[in-house]
Amino acid sequence: MHRPTPVPSLPPTRYRIVPRDPAAHLFEVDCVVEQPDPRGQCLRLPAWIPGSYLIREFARHFVDVRAHCEGAPVRIVKEAKDTWRAEPCAGALTVTAHVYAYDLSVRTAYLDAARAFFNGSSVFLCPVGREHAPCAVEIAPSPATGSWRVATTLPRDGAPAWGYGSYRAADYDELVDHPVEIADFAHVEFEAGGAAHDVVISGRHEADLPRLAADLARICQWQCDLFGGAPGSRAPFDRYLFLVAAVGDGYGGLEHRASTALVTSRNGLPRAGQAEIDDDYRNFLGLCSHEYFHSWNVKRIKPAAFVPYDLAREGYTRQLWAFEGFTSYYDDLALVRSGVVDAASWLELAGRTITAVLRTPGRRLQSVAESSFDAWIKYYRPDENTPNAVISYYAKGALVGMALDLTLRRAGSSLDELMRALWQRYGARGAGVPEDGIPALASELAGRDLAEFFARHVDGTDDLPLAGLLAECGIALRTRAATGPRDRGGTPPGKSASMRPAATLGLKLAAGSEARVQFAFAGGPAQRAGISGGDTIIAADGLRVNAETLDAAVARRAPGDTIALTAFRRDELMTFAVTLDAAPEDTCWLALDDAVPAEAVARRRAWLGT
């Protein structure tokens, strides 16, 4: 991939970072600029991090910023929310910041007595005008960190393996694309695509590391083969690193050019003696698969709007349905094609994705192209009305990927061929994908114009024609009503499910024991009666309820029945008469149908690799 040429006339920007005070969650970060701007050196911090499309204002975590030159104090003032300017000085300028780090996520920075973690975009100031200058980084210990080790894919420049010391980057863009974990972590390694792969896990856990490495090796090699077009294909990097934080309850990931930062619950890691892949471990493998797929799709195959990134402001594109949605399609597909899970397991996951989309009223109002464009103001800022107005470009984008794959296979091509073409024409060359690039390429591979497909399902809000496409592969798409609030779809109704029509309030409760309304779905019984997100229901027909007993009370009633719900809205007590609807058939499951022509079974096997 093309990278900006380092500026030879300028010396490297030098950084030093130390976990100064774990108890106060403070990093100390120095930025040294030799030959600073004679007009006064300006320094800027990114406002967002690639892969997470929201202006996150990382500068709000800077507690103080000071400057000095050759030992003498230099006045430095803040000119904007993310920008500082130091007065002119003769000699090397050193800017020192203390950064508060207590966000247990993959996006910013974290420091306590157990571990340190940071993304460069949230801690390293960038001297304006020197974005393409080389960078030198010293990661230094503090007495409080004891025997902790360092895990990062930043190129070492004298630092020992897994150790503190000197690292380097070709420019600022590379500097902030290699997160760093510092802790007493567990470690396991494997090889895939001719590259070394490491997994480090911080936090308390009982993970079966050899099992995890074996499963990830199969998934990673399959992805390398997909883009290379042949078994044994090579990865686009020499080394890859999975940085995993194991916590009590958490889930998330963020991709980087040669690594990923992950947060998972301890239950998501495989345990010694665990033969089966349970739901938690399967979800974690899907998360790893998702972020690894991004090594190609979005880190190297990028929307033109991201070439180059402008981390000071939003980068608008209508293509996230492909860059995140196709990745969401392939993350689970890689599990079955690599043989880590069987076809039945994948069908369950696909049924859950279809269910999630069917249960989102916003799919009728917002297209996935609009969802992509508005990610900055809508998707990452959910509120009580989000499912009524917004569709996930992850979930529906995955279904677009599935439908497009099956459509292309009708024509003798596939989404695999499209991904390889994107890699060869754009990613491997460092060129951005134009806004109309994917529809044009898909039409080329199909041998016919697919403009109507994209107009209806990407730029429009039509549901995807999955039932017919799946039937051609010997897979039946079926729907039913949900059997309860924990029914995520993907499976047929249990034998104990009632045959009477299920009733629904048309709302979703927030997690927890109390019956606090998270969403009241558009046009549903609760919304019609006046119930809103944030209300806490305390009684049904005069009897006290919590989340569990409210569900039980509704389950005893039939569609058309009226139930009196008493709720607090803030500190005001209100009563609502809610007439129940029949539960919609928005719960999907997929089933193999072998009573189909042999060619349908052959198409299915070619598609799923089973």
The 3-state secondary structure of 354-395, one letter per residue: HHHHHCCHHHHCCCHHHHHHHHHCCCCCCCCCHHHHCCCCCH
Q: What pLDDT does 2 receive?
A: 42
pLDDT digits (tens, 9 = 90+) for 500-521: 568 999 999 999 999 999 999 9
Tell me, yes or no, whether 286 lies in a domain. Answer: no
In this structure, the answer to whether residues 72 and 164 fall within a common structural domain is: yes
Number of Cβ atoms within 10 Å of the Cβ of 576? 17
Residue 276 vs residues 8, 250, 282, 407: alpha-carbon distances, Å: 55, 22, 10, 34
Q: pLDDT tens across 257-308, in order? A: 999 999 999 999 999 999 899 999 999 999 999 999 999 999 999 999 999 9
pLDDT value at residue 7: 47
Claim to verify: residue 252 and residue 382 sit in the same structural domain: no
Q: Are residues 459 and 386 in the same domain?
A: yes
- 307 and 423 both lie in a single domain: yes
> Do both 327 and 419 map to the same domain?
yes
DSSP 514: S
Condensed to tens digits (0 to 9), the pLDDT of residues 214-225 reads: 999 999 999 999
Is residue 588 situated within a structural domain? no
Q: 6 lies in a domain?
A: no
Average pLDDT (37-58) is 97
Based on the fold, state whether residues 179 and 195 are members of the same structural domain. no
> Which residue, of 140, 163, 183, is where some domain finishes?
183
Structural domains in the chain (count): 4
Instruction: Give the domain range for residue 362.
Output: 296-472+596-610
Specify if 49 maps to a domain.
Answer: yes
Return the percentage of the chain with pLDDT > 90, whole number.
Answer: 94
d(CA 467, CA 11): 60
CATH classification at residue 88: 2.60.40.3650
What sign does the CA torsion over 562, 564, 568, 573 have? positive
Tell me the one-letter amino acid at 593.
D
The H or E element that residue 555 is part of is helix 547-555
Residue 431: is its pLDDT beyond 50? yes
Residue 39 domain-assigned (yes or no): yes
Task: Dump pLDDT digits (tens) for 79-137.
Answer: 999 999 999 999 999 999 999 999 999 999 999 999 999 999 999 999 999 999 999 99
Same domain for 17 and 143, yes or no, is yes
Q: What is the CATH number of the domain that holds 356?
A: 1.10.390.10
**Residue 534: inside a domain, yes or no?**
yes
Of 171, 542, 469, 488, which is closest to residue 355 (Cα–Cα)? 488
Q: Which of 160, 183, 206 marks a domain boundary? A: 183
| pLDDT tens track for 228-255 | 999 999 999 999 999 999 999 999 999 9
Tell whether 607 is covered by a domain: yes
Co-location of 237 and 179 in the same domain: no
pLDDT of residue 610: 79
482 occurs within a structural domain: no
Provide the phi-psi class of 560: left if phi over 0, else alpha when psi is between -120 and 50, else beta: left
Mean pLDDT of 569-579: 98
Over residues 320-337, mean pLDDT:
98
Q: Is 443 helix (H, G, I), strand (E, B) or coil?
A: helix
Respond yes or no on whether the N-terminal peptide bond of residue 308 is cis (omega within 30° of 0).
yes
Q: pLDDT value at position 472? A: 96
Domain end position, chosen among 214, 240, 273: 273
- Same domain for 428 and 390, yes or no, is yes
Q: Do 87 and 143 have their domain in common?
A: yes
Which CATH number covers residue 234?
3.30.2010.30
Dump pLDDT digits (tens) for 337-346.
999 999 999 9
CB of 575 closer than 8 Å to CB of 303: no
Distance of CA 153 to the CA centre of its chain: 20
Write down the mean pLDDT value for the chain: 96
90 and 178 belong to one structural domain: yes
